[in-house]
């Protein structure tokens, strides 16, 4: 595997990115950096956010810009102010040891005079949103006729937001012999047209499959009656509550507020973002979400624009987006920086056709799951709670004589009764809520596909095997499945697994159970003897097939209710740029949210119409900088690595 030095990155930059935790280049960096540095070719990159594309263009730009030449040499254009701030911050970090390079960010919603004076002081690199850039060009406050490198970042998003003419206008003002780098999460015709017109035989890079969305995202859906959507949402959340950190997308402001109110009333750690909230209120909500004080954020597409939070475990589509491309953008908020994520759609029967359209146009493959039964949710909670207790370290200092005396009534109880009392207390809410709770899955009008049955138990029928290793041994779902597959010489597809703190389950077809048990039982893992035996339970309840996540997102270890994350986004939330739809006002539906018009001054001088669409201009950026690609908590060796050592 190549390192950054092999790609031609110079020492001063190498030192800077090393401090940021960049150890090995991401695939897009590996492909783009040498081309950028060593050839004069344009670059056309099909890549989602979270793939490391900022450094893919940022590192070469920092290296190629000449500090002694005090004209604007590089121009990075991006759709939102959050992204703009993030990119300029990233470029600043890469060039930390080259202080003579000036980077100026220009975006709407901030003092234009200040930006003008920053530019006057000398800028080598401008990072800009299109509207503000046009404004500055019109005021003759900046001259882009000297630029050598132009980057169009999240180009599809810029076009979605109605910036096509602006982008073309800006490109026309740059010199003919410049190099152009265009990055886009999707490749609709409009982007191809721009590439054909403004790029010269570009070197094409695709990370993941064309239009396939992020490969780290599992796309799931469940079909319920419209009236059961809220109940199904709660079940999904309850089932995943040990590690959920989710954004739930709704279509209207009213729906967003309504679902948020209901969740809060029902005891969930939730809040919402939509256009009826003041900027101050939105910032407060975002801060709380970023710091995990809120675990579930309800949002409209517009309000979610620019959300920059790392470690999102689930994106939930309570309603499908109006615009199919928005599905990719919504989903792109999870599965970032090498982590895995789930994009889950709650569908009512009428929406089947739209899901098929998304599948076809976005080229994602949806996996049907069943909304877990009440019993499954309860069992999962039980296992998680037991995990937490087993993994809790005793705080000796709490138990002084006085406390021990107070505890006497408890200590005299038989241990079994004590455990039952604690569990009853913990699970009371679920017992009450889920008593006689109905099955929420619909059966009629369902999509069917090979291997996909609308019946409980999913694809795997047969035996459930107990295995005496789990997260404590460094396993997550993926690595455990790898290990079981390798040891038992079975295919991944034949295994369904569920990994808990100190033990795990493997579900296999009846005839394969013996093979797995023979391979694992008596084996050792990291020097620890492994026990594997039939569990006596029926297969099912696995995270994989039950509203669960297709893998451990980010290799967190340990179980329990609360996830132990330490990341926090770093950029602040704010309204993005005002957007315009080239196709007029598409918002007919009642309180469909419109884009905030925070950048009037930016573009009013061009006398353009202002129809806005509800499209998400997302400046999703990962705030956790000090992590290596394929993030995991430091010190926590991935099971894969351990396994390799053992091999």
Whether the CA torsion 183, 187, 193, 195 is positive or negative: it is: positive
User: From CA 133, how far away is CA 484, in angstroms rounded?
Assistant: 55
Within 10 Å of residue 640's Cβ, how many Cβ atoms? 17
Q: Which of 9, 16, 43, 55 binds ligand AMP (CB under 6 A)?
A: 55
Give me the torsion for CA of 629, 635, 636, 640, rounded to 10°. Answer: 60
Q: Does residue 616 bind ligand AMP (CB under 6 A)?
A: no
- Tell me which of 53, 89, 317, 381 binds ligand AMP, using CB under 6 A: 53
> Considering the rule CB under 6 A, would residue 21 count as an interface residue with ligand AMP?
yes
Closest CB to ligand AMP among 91 and 167? Answer: 91
Among 9, 13, 16, 25, binds ligand AMP (CB under 6 A): 25
Provide φ and ψ at 296, rounded to 5°. Answer: -130, 120
Q: Which residue's CB comes closest to ligand AMP?
A: 622
Nearest residue to 85 via CA among 569, 565, 596, 593? 569
Q: Does 230 sit near ligand AMP (CB under 6 A)?
A: no
Which of 9, 13, 16, 52 is the binder for ligand AMP (CB under 6 A)? Answer: 52
Q: Determine the Cα–Cα distance for residues 366 and 503; give it in Å rounded to an integer.
A: 30
Could you tell me if 532 and 521 are in contact, meaning their C-beta atoms sit under 8 angstroms apart?
A: yes
Residue 214 binds ligand AMP (CB under 6 A): no
Residues 6 or more apart whose CB falls under 8 angstroms from that of 371 comprise 222, 224, 232, 235, 236, 439, 440, 441, 547
Q: Show contacts with ligand AMP in window 312-341 (CB under 6 A).
A: 336-337
Q: Is 629 a residue that touches ligand AMP (CB under 6 A)?
A: yes
**Per CB under 6 A, which region of 18-26, 131-139, 313-321, 489-497 contacts ligand AMP?**
18-26
Which residue's CB is nearer to ligand AMP, number 58 or number 108? Answer: 58
Instruction: Point out which span in 43-51, 132-140, 250-258, 422-430 binds ligand AMP (CB under 6 A).
Output: 43-51
In 521-620, where does DSSP find H-type helix?
A: 600-603
531 and 521 in contact (C-beta within 8 Å)?
yes
Tell me the CB-side half-sphere exposure of residue 549, using CA atoms within 13 A. 33
Convert 332-359 into a string of H (helix), E (strand) and C (coil).
Answer: CCCCCCCCCEEEEEEECHHHHHHHHHHH
Closer Cβ to ligand AMP, 333 or 643, answer by number: 333
Choose between 387 and 622: whose C-beta lies nearer to ligand AMP.
622
| Six token digits for residue 383 | 């296992």
Distance CA 513, CA 534 (A): 8
The distance of closest approach from Cβ of residue 640 to ligand AMP in the complex, given in angstroms and rounded to an integer, is: 17
Beta strand 125-128 with 246-249 is: unpaired
512 binds ligand AMP, rule: CB under 6 A: no
Least distance (Å) between residue 641 CB and ligand AMP: 17
Nearer to ligand AMP, 55 or 377 (CB): 55
* Sites for ligand AMP among residues 336-395 (CB under 6 A): 336-337
- In whole angstroms, the minimum distance from the beta carbon of 42 to ligand AMP comes to 19
Q: Which is closer to ligand AMP, CB of 54 or CB of 362?
A: 54
Give dist(CA 565, CA 311) in Å, integer. 8
- By C-beta, is 151 or 465 nearer to ligand AMP? 151
Q: Which is nearer to ligand AMP, 488 or 616 (CB)?
A: 616
Dist CA 448 CA 225 (whole Å): 17
| Rounded CA separation 297/274 (Å) | 11
* Binding of ligand AMP by 50 (CB under 6 A): yes
Return residues touching ligand AMP (CB under 6 A). Answer: 21-22, 25-26, 29, 49-55, 336-337, 621-622, 625, 627-629
């Amino acid at each position: 595997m190549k390192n950054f030095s092999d790609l031609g990155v110079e020492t001063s930059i190498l030192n800077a990115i090393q401090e940021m935790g960049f150890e090995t280049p991401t695939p897009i960096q590996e492909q783009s950096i040498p081309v950028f540095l060593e050839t004069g070719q344009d670059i056309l990159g099909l890549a989602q956010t979270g793939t490391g594309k900022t450094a893919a263009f940022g590192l070469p730009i920092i290296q190629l810009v000449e500090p002694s030449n005090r004209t604007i040499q590089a121009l990075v254009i991006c759709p939102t102010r959050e992204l703009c701030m993030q990119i300029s911050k990233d470029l600043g970090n890469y060039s930390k040891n080259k202080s003579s390079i000036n980077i100026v960010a220009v975006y709407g919603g901030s003092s234009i005079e200040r930006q003008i004076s920053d530019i006057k002081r000398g800028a080598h690199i401008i990072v800009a949103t299109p509207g503000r850039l046009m404004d500055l060009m019109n005021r003759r406050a900046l001259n882009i006729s000297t630029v050598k490198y132009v980057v169009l970042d999240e180009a599809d998003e810029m076009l979605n937001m109605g910036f096509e003419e602006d982008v073309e206008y800006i490109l026309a003002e740059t010199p003919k012999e410049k190099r152009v780098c265009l990055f886009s999460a999707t490749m609709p015709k409009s982007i191809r047209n721009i590439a054909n017109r403004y790029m010269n035989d570009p070197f094409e890079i695709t990370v993941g499959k064309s239009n396939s969305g992020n490969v780290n995202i599992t796309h799931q859906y469940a079909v319920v009656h419209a009236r059961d959507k809220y109940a199904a949402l709660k079940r999904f959340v309850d089932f995943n509550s040990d590690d959920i950190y989710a954004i739930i997308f709704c279509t209207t402001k009213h729906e967003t507020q309504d679902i948020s109110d209901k969740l809060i009333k029902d005891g969930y750690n939730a809040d919402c973002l939509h256009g009826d909230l003041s900027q101050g209120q939105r910032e407060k909500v975002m801060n709380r979400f970023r710091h995990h004080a809120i675990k579930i954020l309800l949002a409209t597409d517009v309000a979610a624009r620019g959300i920059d939070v790392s470690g999102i475990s689930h994106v939930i589509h309570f309603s499908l987006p109006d615009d199919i491309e928005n599905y990719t953008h919504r989903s792109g908020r999870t599965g970032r920086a090498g982590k895995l994520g789930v994009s889950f759609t709650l569908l009512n029967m009428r929406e089947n056709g739209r899901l098929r359209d998304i599948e076809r146009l976005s080229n994602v493959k949806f996996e049907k799951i069943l909304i877990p039964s009440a019993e499954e949710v309860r069992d999962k909670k039980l296992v998680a709670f037991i995990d937490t207790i087993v993994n809790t370290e005793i705080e000796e200092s709490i138990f002084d004589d006085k406390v021990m005396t107070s505890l006497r009534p408890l200590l005299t109880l038989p241990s079994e009764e004590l455990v039952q009392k604690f569990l009853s207390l913990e699970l009371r809410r679920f017992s009450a809520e889920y008593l006689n709770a109905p099955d929420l899955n619909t059966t009629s009008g369902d999509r069917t596909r090979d291997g996909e049955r609308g019946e409980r138990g999913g694809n795997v029928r047969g035996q459930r095997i107990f295995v005496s290793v789990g997260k404590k041994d460094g396993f997550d779902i993926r690595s455990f499945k790898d290990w079981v597959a390798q040891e038992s010489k079975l295919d991944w597809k034949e295994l369904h697994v569920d990994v808990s703190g100190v033990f795990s389950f493997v579900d296999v077809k009846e005839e394969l159970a013996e093979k797995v048990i023979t391979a694992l039982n008596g084996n050792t893992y990291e020097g620890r003897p492994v026990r594997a035996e039939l569990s006596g339970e029926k297969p099912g309840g696995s995270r994989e097939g039950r509203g669960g996540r297709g893998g451990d997102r980010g290799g967190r270890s340990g179980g329990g209710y609360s996830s132990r994350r330490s990341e926090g986004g770093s950029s602040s939330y704010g309204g993005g740029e005002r957007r315009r739809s080239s196709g007029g006002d598409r918002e007919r539906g009642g309180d469909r949210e419109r884009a905030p018009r925070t950048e009037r001054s930016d573009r009013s001088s061009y006398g353009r119409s202002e129809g806005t669409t509800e499209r998400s201009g997302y400046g999703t950026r990962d705030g956790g900088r000090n992590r290596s690609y394929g993030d995991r908590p430091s010190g926590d060796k991935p099971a894969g690595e351990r396994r390799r050592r053992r091999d």
